Chains A and B, each alone.
Chain A
Amino acid sequence: MAFLALERVSKHYGAMAAVDDAALTIEKGEFVSLLGPSGCGKTTTLQMIAGLVEPSAGRIVLDGRDITNEKPNRRGLGVVFQSYALFPHMTVAENVTFGLEMRRVPRSERIERVREMLALVQLSVFADRYPREMSGGQRQRVAIARALVIAPPVLLLDEPLSNLDAKLREEMQFELRRIQRKVGTTTIMVTHDQAEALSISDRVVVMEQGRMTQVDAPYRLYEQPSNAFIASFVGKTNLIAGVWRRDGMAGAVDIGGIRLEAPSADFPAGTPVTLSIRPEKILLRKAGEGQLDGRIASRFFLGSQWLFTLETPIGTITVSIPNQGEEPPAEGATVGLDWSPASLRVIASAMAHPGGGTA
Chain B
Amino acid sequence: MQKNGPLALLFHGLVVAFVLAPLVIICLVAFTPENTLSLPTGGVSLRWFKAVFAHPDFVASFWNSIWLATLSATLAVAFAVPAGLAISRFTFAGRDALNALFLSPLIIPHLVLGVAFLRLFALVGATGSFSWLVATHIVIVTPYVLRLVLAALSGLDRSAEQAALTLGASSWTTFRRITAPMILPGITGGWLLAFINSFDELTMSIFVTAPATVTLPVRMYMYATESIDPMMAAVSALMIALTAAAMLVLDRAFGLDKILVGQR
User: Per the CB under 8 Å rule, do A and B touch in the complex?
Assistant: yes
- A102 partner residues in chain B, CB cutoff 8 A: 167-169, 173
- Where chain B touches its partner, the secondary structure class is helix
Find residues 157-188 in chain B having any chain A CB closer than 8 Å to their own CB.
157, 159-160, 162-170, 173, 177-178, 181-182
Residues of B within 8 A of A (CB): 157, 159-160, 162-170, 173, 177-178, 181-182
Q: Which residue in chain A gives the minimum CB-CB distance to B178?
A: A87
Q: Which residues of B contact A82 (CB under 8 A)?
A: 159
Flag whether A150 is at the interface (Cβ < 8 A). Answer: yes
Say yes or no for A5: interface residue by CB 8 A criterion: no
Which residue on chain B has the smallest CB distance to residue A89? B181
Whether the pair A98, B167 counts as a contact (CB closer than 8 A) is yes
Q: Which residues of A contact B162 (CB under 8 A)?
A: 50, 52, 72, 79, 81, 85
Output the nearest chain A residue to B169 by Cβ-Cβ distance.
A102
Candidates A51, A71, A146; contact of B163 at CB < 8 Å: A146
| Any B CB within 8 A of the CB of A103 | yes
B157 surroundings in chain A (CB, below 8 A) = 83, 85
Q: Which 8 A-B pairs have the closest CB atoms?
A: A99-B167, A85-B159, A102-B168, A85-B163, A81-B159, A79-B166, A85-B160, A72-B165
Identify whether the interface residues of A are mostly helix, strand, loop, or mixed: loop
Tell me whether A73 and B165 are in contact in the complex, defined as CB-CB below 8 angstroms, given that A87-B178, A89-B181, A102-B173 are known contacts.
Answer: yes
Q: Is the interface on chain A under 10, 10 to 19, 20 to 34, or 35 or more residues? A: 20 to 34
Task: Among A77, A79, A82, A150, find the residue whose CB has the most chain B CB atoms closer than 10 A.
Answer: A79
| Residue in chain B with minimal CB distance to A52 | B162
Given contacts A73-B168, A74-B168, A147-B167, 15 further A-B contacts (CB under 8 A): A50-B166, A52-B162, A52-B165, A72-B166, A73-B165, A73-B169, A79-B162, A85-B157, A87-B178, A87-B182, A88-B160, A88-B182, A98-B169, A99-B168, A150-B167
Let me know if B166 and A87 touch, CB within 8 A.
Answer: no
Say whether A160 faces chain B, with CB atoms less than 8 Å apart: no
Residues of B within 8 A of A85 (CB): 157, 159-160, 162-163
17 contacts between A and B (CB under 8 A): A52-B162, A52-B165, A52-B166, A72-B165, A73-B166, A73-B169, A73-B170, A74-B168, A79-B166, A85-B159, A85-B163, A86-B163, A87-B163, A89-B181, A102-B169, A102-B173, A146-B163
